[in-house]
Amino acid sequence: MGFIRKIITPRPKKKEDIFYTDLSKILGFKPKNISHYQKAFVHRSIKEFDKNTGFPLNYERLEFLGDAMLSAIIAAHLFQIVPSGDEGYLTQMRSKIVSREHLNELGKDLDLLRFIRSNVILSNFGENVHGNIFEALIGAIYLDRGYAYCQKFIYKRVIAPYVVDILKLEGKITSYKSLFIEWCQKKKKELVFEVYEDSGNEPIKQFSVKLFLNGELIAKGRSTSKKKAEEVAAKRAYYAFQNEITAG
């Protein structure tokens, strides 16, 4: 009597299973309520609505929560490790750790953009989307696991690799615009930011800015908001005049 051997073909993993597995590796623990994390990667362009409340469903509310948790946990950490720091110093150090540039780097390092659900082509996103969804992820962790898990994640991903060298952190520039304005005021130079028409065809609105010093155009900037475009222009201006600025 012959036997028929059954050939079992492995079932392909569902997107939900892949998301859960990959996310667990990033978090360092297994999520309890995966829906919180799914919401952390929904872009407003999807135009989805919460089934229970009817309100728009995207990562922006979680981003707000994550930003608050990140700020509070880092403030507490700095308070402990820098007992000599006054309010102004601690505020400055916290701003440097949670700078948009740093959060964007963290989001990129974790490749969080691979999880996002959006009707916008990924190449059309601005740099800040990386930091935005990183903050949204922190918000999701807080809702799913509470303060202790949120604190542990921030220590591992944000604090541990960054605040080891406090002297290096002290020298980090968080706002080129503020620095350049301060230098211009000190040297009695006239500084003007001028928004001009942006003819780009991107689906996300872009703002363009010209930076004039004593009536002369010295730099341009372009980004998804006027404030960000001004910062881009100021950064370019800073490096153009770096020798003069650092010389005092």
- The token duo for 190 is 């006239």
Per-residue pLDDT, 139: 97
Residue 164: the pLDDT is 46
pLDDT, position 2: 47
Annotated catalytic residues are 67, 135
Give residue 237's domain range: 176-246
Whole-structure pTM value: 0.64
Residue 69 lies in a domain: yes
Q: Are residues 205 and 91 in the same domain?
A: no
pLDDT at 9: 45
pLDDT digits (tens, 9 = 90+) for 98-118: 888 889 989 998 999 999 998
Task: List pLDDT tens digits, range 34-75.
Answer: 999 999 999 988 888 877 787 888 899 999 999 999 999 999
CATH code where residue 77 lies: 1.10.1520.10
Does residue 77 sit within a domain? yes
Residues of the chain predicted below pLDDT 70: 1-15, 161-174, 199-203, 247-248
